[in-house]
Amino acid sequence: MEFRFGVNMLASAGRAHWIDLCRKAERLGYDVVAVPDHLGMPAPFPALVAAAEATERVRLGTYVVNTGFYNPVLLARDVEGVDQLLEGRFELGLGTGYVKAEFDAAGLPFLSPGKRLDHLERCIEAIREHYGDRTPPPLFLGGQRDRMLRLAAREADIVGFTGVRFSRDGDSAAIASPDELDERIAFVRSEAGDRADGLELNLLIQSVVVTDDRSAVLEQLRRYDPDRTPEELGEVPILLVGTVEQIAEQLRAQRERFGITYVSVMDKDLDAFAEVIAHLRGGKPLTR
């Protein structure tokens, strides 16, 4: 199966910069431009509408809407409005929200994980009801724990894996090992049953470093996970370190092992990862 490549970007430096950034991502060969939903960052839906006006090919998505901020019925209205304006290019990513400080700042209760998931399910139901017989945009759901992945297996078109284990309050995280990711993907496939083969699997890459000295960079990255050796860090799915050829081979190996064909990077790695995209597609990076 062919790869799809996405970039998660922040529309944080004004309209002109945002427009230029979206057009650049399209030129560099990215398939999806996505935006997060956090307090202190621009609202995702207006950013996507502006991106649609500036681009022609890329799909546009939320990665992901914090449903804890929204009334389900009002969210359904906004989703349909954005879907119409994006004319078929919208991919809807939904999540529960996980940063307690953001809920505190908004004056909203930070409910238990189970109750936040209950609310997410109500949002999905409201969106489905709002669309009725019409087809809603592709639904992206992702996470780490059983109930969230069970919901994704049942409802989503795209299932995302962060490769990170977050604490209950979102204040800390630990990098998941390849074996842990294996187990989580197997869990989703088992829960999805007959739907499994139709699911697209996504992985969010935390860092891309193109270098001829892979060992040295991996040694530097140990400051984030001192319990792992550089060799072990080199096997972590969410870190891509090495030459363009080495990174491309790592992605091919991960596609073979995990079935991951949709790979997303952060905007800080927009340029570096474009070289890998071009290599995997047999060409040179497009003009920056």
Reported pTM: 0.94
In this prediction, residues 151-156 reach a mean pLDDT of 98
Contact 4, 261 (CB under 8 A): yes
In a domain, 30, yes or no: yes
pLDDT in tens, 61-97: 999 999 999 999 999 999 999 999 999 999 999 999 9
Mean pLDDT of the chain: 94
The string of pLDDT tens digits covering residues 168-192 is 555 556 888 999 999 999 999 999 9
What lies within 8 Å, CB to CB, of 22 at 6+ separation is 9, 33, 50, 51, 54, 55, 58
The verdict on 176 and 108 lying in the same domain is: no
Specify if 132 maps to a domain: yes
Q: What is the mean pLDDT of residues 13-37?
A: 95
Residue 210 and residue 131 in one domain: no
Instruction: Looking at the structure, tell me whether residues 183 and 235 fall in a common domain.
Output: yes
In a domain, 7, yes or no: yes
User: CA 40 to CA 253: how far, in whole Å?
Assistant: 37
Same domain, 181 and 253: yes
Each residue's pLDDT tens digit, 232-284: 999 999 999 999 999 999 999 999 999 999 999 999 999 999 999 999 998 76
Question: Is residue 193 domain-shared with residue 117, that is, in the same domain?
Answer: no
How much is the CA Rg of the chain, to the nearest whole Å? 19
Q: Which two tokens stand for residue 248?
A: 């491309």
128 and 224 fall within a common domain: no
Are the C-beta atoms of residues 236 and 258 closer than 8 Å to each other?
no
Cis peptide bond upstream of 58, omega within 30: no
In a domain, 254, yes or no: yes
Cα 242 to Cα 248: distance, rounded to the nearest angstrom: 9
Q: CA 245 to CA 262: how far, in whole Å? A: 19
Name the residue range of residue 104's domain.
1-137
Q: Tell me which amino acid residue 78 is.
A: D
Q: Which of 99, 90, 87, 89 is nearest to 127 (CA)?
A: 90
pLDDT of 224: 86
Q: Determine, yes or no, domain membership for 286.
A: no
Distance CA 245, CA 233 (A): 18
156: tokens are 């989503």
Amino acid 284: pLDDT: 60
In a domain, 255, yes or no: yes
> CATH number, domain at 23?
3.20.20.30
- pLDDT at position 269 is 97
Domain contains 35: yes
Please give the structure tokens belonging to residue 204. Answer: 């969010």
